[in-house]
Amino acid sequence: MGSGRLILCLAAIVVVAGCSSPSQPSTPPGQSSEARVGRIGDGDSLRLADGREVRLLQIDAPELHPDCYGRDAAGELERLLPKGSIVELEADRRLDDHDRYGRLLRYVWRGEENVNLQLVKLGAASPYFFRNERGSYATDLLAAAKSARSAHLGLWGVCPRAELTPGLGSVTGPVSTQRG
């Protein structure tokens, strides 16, 4: 190989390497990676200690404001994932890797606990199947939501307008509709 071609090849390698972002690694779909929790955003999102944003996959929690149970849902996620805790982030090869905001879409595990599923079991979130696509835990998430609703847990006991609508996400109504 001539020195000109060698220099071009090396330049191409440098350009490609420079375009990758080693501080923002992604997880191949269907695999998991370890991370440390930085802070909780709301009931279904968090920031990792390395700055990456994560949206919990296949669930939706009420918004902090103005939705009924929004602050409580965020509190449940913070209880399950305290700052500094180590988690496993699991991608789902059936679903998108990132959302439109660039956040990683992941199932979050702390030890043996699927945090996404646990939030639904507690009534802090409901199943959300974007574009009605169902991932690896869709059946478990639906069963957990129905059980939490029957037991009036979390948002199901506090928000009279709460609806189980997996195609739309969490529908609880505004805070002012909470039961006294």
pLDDT band at 5 (very low <50, low <70, confident <90, very high): low
Average pLDDT over residues 40-46: 97
9 pLDDT higher than 50: no
pLDDT in tens, 89-122: 999 999 999 999 999 999 999 999 999 999 999 9
Distance set, CA 46 to CA 54, 55, 99, 104 (Å): 5, 7, 14, 10
3 pLDDT higher than 70: no
Domains and CATH numbers, the chain: 27-175 (2.40.50.90)
What type of residue sits at position 160?
P
Burial pattern 112-144, b for ≥16 Cβ within 10 A else e, equals eebbbbbbbbbbbbbbbbbeeebbbbbebbbeb
pLDDT at 23: 36
pLDDT in tens, 128-174: 999 999 999 999 999 999 999 999 999 999 999 999 999 987 788 78
The span from the CA of 73 to the CA of 79, in Å, is 10
pLDDT at 2: 56
pLDDT at 171: 80
Decide: 114 and 121 in contact? Cβ < 8 Å. no
Other CB atoms closer than 10 Å to residue 44's CB: what's the count? 29
Tell me if the pTM is above 0.75. yes
pLDDT at 11: 43
Distance set, CA 105 to CA 50, 57, 76, 122 (Å): 16, 5, 19, 21
pLDDT at 14: 38
What type of residue sits at position 135?
G
pLDDT in tens, 50-87: 999 999 999 999 999 889 999 999 999 999 999 999 99
The CB-side HSE value for 3 (13 A sphere, CA atoms) comes to 0
Say if strands 163-165 and 169-171 run parallel, antiparallel, or are unpaired.
antiparallel
Decide: 99 and 115 in contact? Cβ < 8 Å. no
Decide: 55 and 99 in contact? Cβ < 8 Å. yes
Structure tokens given for 21: 């972002």
